[in-house]
Chain A
Amino acid sequence: MSDTQPAGAYVEVDPTTGPAGKAERRPKSAVGFDAGDDPNAPLLEVKDLSVEFKTEDGQVKAVQNLTYTLHARETLGIVGESGSGKTVSSMAVLGLLPKKAVVTGEVLFRGRNLLTMSERERQTIRGRRIAMVFQDALAALNPVFKVGDQIAEAINVHADETIGTDDERVIELLNLVGIPNPKDRASQYPHEFSGGMRQRAMIAMSIANDPDVIIADEPTTALDVTIQAQVLEVFERIQDRTNSAILLITHDLGVVAGVTDRILVMYAGRQVEMGSVDDVFYEPSHPYAQGLLASLPRLDRRRDGERLYRIKGQPPSMIHLPPGCAFNPRCPVAEVGVCDVTRPELVEVSPDHRSACHFAAEVRVGTRAVVT
């Protein structure tokens, strides 16, 4: 994807190339900031974010001490298996978790803490500056409204005026995400769309207000590979157009390799590794990340009769996390007395490449072999 901009270097969309009327529509000041925004602060800064749910069986620590920074135009991939806290952490960013969730830490959007903000204030951010794309587009689209109406609604929520199904902005957005015959399609219902087109319509809704951040929660998981590729291409195209940063949540390492700039690997609610795509793919420094990569079938490493690597065991219960490193019971290189006692901190193994393993350096260079 496009080059990463340094923190604070916000680039406003050129109104002559952006979707029609975008510059006037956006109820922001000309430089692209709301009142109260800190222009020098990073776009999105998540600091020490923890989410806990109290259940009858005990506390579920869904996310623990998550910290990352998202810059303008950057694509960050959050990877992990089901239940690792990917979705919960992104819902926490938008304040969409149910009230019983205990969210601590800081989520700074242009320097403003979204967690301490009033609900009313958050509503002005959601959909307009931080938008979300859901996994199951059929479920996330309202079955009783025309697709065009729903895209118009995404705009109307934040505007004083009210636009309809056949407004040129709606058509433009459908066009932008690559839906053929946008005029006719706008007046159809979600059930008349194919899966890939529904997902594109969802994306059109999410970019309707030209957001700074798009959170895409497994946007391609429900799609087959050809359509996946098309949808990912749509993301790249709209990012070129709108300069949005994308937070891509997925468990598909292929998707991550294809479109993201940086990767954050989560396990049992904690981040275990973070770095550029190249760093994580070529020098994975956490046994879990290495295991994940080794379990991928690869065309260039195939040997007949050889089985794919698998990570033994099951993910831990989120209520009774093992002491020390959460991955310790499944880790082939864990050491008794270290890994089951102390929780490893994130350490830098190379510039901007961090791993939460006691033996990160050895794992990285392979002197502590995870995969043989």
Chain B
Amino acid sequence: MTLGAEPPAPGTRSLREDRERMADIEPGDMAYQLEEGLGRENLAGMPEDGEAQLAPGVEPQARSQWQLFRRRFVRHRMAMVSLVVLIILIVLCFGATWIAPFPKNNQDLLSGSLSPSRHHLFGTDRIGRDELTEVLYAGQVSLAIGLAVAFIATVVGAVLGSLAGFYRGWTDQLVMRVTDLFLVIPQLVVLAIAIRAIGQTTSTIALILAALFWMYIARVVRGQVLSIREKEFVEAARACGASPFRIITRHIMPNIIGPIMVNATLAVAGAIIAESTLSFLGLGVQPPATSWGNMLSDAEGVVGTPQAYLLYFPGLLIFITVMAVNFLGDGLRDAFDPQSHD
């Protein structure tokens, strides 16, 4: 049987005729219904939230990514509690002007070193300042530094990390070697020198801390971008004529917002602790500004005396804040992970 040699039977010669005959068959309604039916089945069959059992006749409600995310997050009890705690802390600290029982830095030598009482809930320090008032005002600085550092570090880290991951090659080499450099330098020494050099204000401290926190986010983002850029939808975006900038910002970034957010919360906690450390060493914010860290530093001498509560309250607030932020990060990570079902 030789294909080429066999003369085709008359009338069957043209494939085009076959096609024309087939063209009469419309993309029938039946086929479309079938399609649609398939789609529904998919939807209903998805035990997205363990709710596969749907009442008959009830159209399954499609949930958006955002709805799914919110649902999973709300179910994370510790994260929800942490979120509430953090919001209360932020409101209390930044509302200190109205909430605090005494004006800031209100010295009253006659009521110095008082233990916690009804009048002074957290007691007073040696020069008679109300500890509760001072802790709330100090919280403004600590929280502001934590959030600012996380924000700056995340933006810088995300930009550099995505450039390195997207362009690879020498861009990647350059960015990652700089990242390594920042990771290997002894941070405390550099901090000490830098702070002496550019001044010890709240904003310079935030900037310097941000310079020590962006690398972690850059590394995470680079890794994520490296994996996402190989996905076919990125190639599809290129085939659509999208520019590299558009691909990174509109097509890749939304896919890695989860890891970025999680690492941002970790940076908040890290920055608050780092600021406390600096303040304790006398390199932090300078009086009259106070932070939880330099309140601890001021209370250095009270260990083992009846005034030890001066250490407890700022310490406790640092502890609560850092724990809450970490739990929040935990909850975000679980909520962003599409594979996590409870």
**Please, which residue of chain B has its CB at the minimum distance from the CB of A306?**
B1
Instruction: Tell me which residues across on chain B come within 8 A of A283, comparing CB atoms.
Output: 4
Most buried by A among B4, B33, B250: B4
Report whether over half of chain B's contact residues are helix, strand or loop; otherwise say mixed. helix
B242-257 toward A: CB 8 Å interface, digit per residue (1/0)? 1100100011001100
State whether A157 touches B241 (Cβ < 8 A).
yes
**A183 an interface residue at 8 Å Cβ cutoff?**
no
Contact A278 to B240, CB < 8 A, known contacts A142-B233, A363-B4, A371-B1: no
A223-266 toward B: CB 8 Å interface, digit per residue (1/0)? 00011001001101000000000000000000001110000000
Restricting to B178-225, which residues have a CB under 8 Å from any CB of A?
none
A365 to B5, CA, bound (A): 5
**A47 an interface residue at 8 Å Cβ cutoff?**
no
A372 to B5, CA, bound (A): 11
Shortest distance from the beta carbon of B322 to any chain A beta carbon, whole Å: 31
**B55 an interface residue at 8 Å Cβ cutoff?**
no
Restricting to A67-114, which residues have a CB under 8 Å from any CB of B?
94, 96
Number of B interface residues, CB 8 Å? 45
State whether A196 touches B35 (Cβ < 8 A).
yes
Contact A192 to B238, CB < 8 A, known contacts A281-B15, A366-B4: no
State whether B43 touches A192 (Cβ < 8 A).
yes
**A277 an interface residue at 8 Å Cβ cutoff?**
yes
**A134 an interface residue at 8 Å Cβ cutoff?**
yes
A192 to B32, CA, bound (A): 16
Contact A141 to B2, CB < 8 A, known contacts A96-B239, A192-B42, A258-B19: no
State whether A285 touches B39 (Cβ < 8 A).
no
State whether B241 touches A277 (Cβ < 8 A).
no
State whether A127 touches B250 (Cβ < 8 A).
no
**A131 an interface residue at 8 Å Cβ cutoff?**
yes
State whether B1 touches A301 (Cβ < 8 A).
yes
A366 to B2, CA, bound (A): 6
State whether B13 touches A278 (Cβ < 8 A).
yes
A202 to B22, CA, bound (A): 25
State whether B240 touches A126 (Cβ < 8 A).
yes
A268 to B31, CA, bound (A): 39
Instruction: Tell me which residues across on chain A come within 8 A of B246, comparing CB atoms.
Output: 157
State whether A157 touches B242 (Cβ < 8 A).
yes
State whether B232 touches A157 (Cβ < 8 A).
no
Contact A142 to B251, CB < 8 A, known contacts A123-B242, A134-B236, A192-B42: yes
Contact A180 to B233, CB < 8 A, known contacts A96-B238, A153-B240, A285-B4: no
Restricting to B48-101, which residues have a CB under 8 Å from any CB of A?
62, 64-65
**Please, which residue of chain B has its CB at the minimum distance from the CB of A257?**
B15
Shortest distance from the beta carbon of B238 to any chain A beta carbon, whole Å: 6
Contact A180 to B35, CB < 8 A, known contacts A134-B236, A294-B3, A363-B4: yes
Instruction: Tell me which residues across on chain A come within 8 A of B254, comparing CB atoms.
Output: 142, 144-145
Restricting to B1-15, which residues have a CB under 8 Å from any CB of A?
1-6, 8, 13-15
A contacts, CB < 8 Å to B: 1, 94, 96, 120, 123-128, 131-132, 134, 136, 139-146, 153-154, 157-158, 178, 180-181, 187-189, 192-194, 196-197, 202, 205, 226-227, 230, 233-234, 236, 257-259, 277-278, 281-285, 290, 293-294, 301, 363-366, 369-372
B contacts, CB < 8 Å to A: 1-6, 8, 13-16, 19, 22-23, 27, 31-36, 38-39, 42-43, 62, 64-65, 231-233, 235-243, 246, 250-251, 254-255
Known A142-B237, A197-B35, A366-B6; 18 more pairs at CB < 8 Å: A96-B239, A124-B241, A126-B240, A127-B242, A142-B251, A145-B254, A157-B241, A157-B242, A180-B35, A187-B62, A192-B43, A193-B39, A194-B38, A226-B31, A285-B4, A364-B4, A366-B3, A371-B3
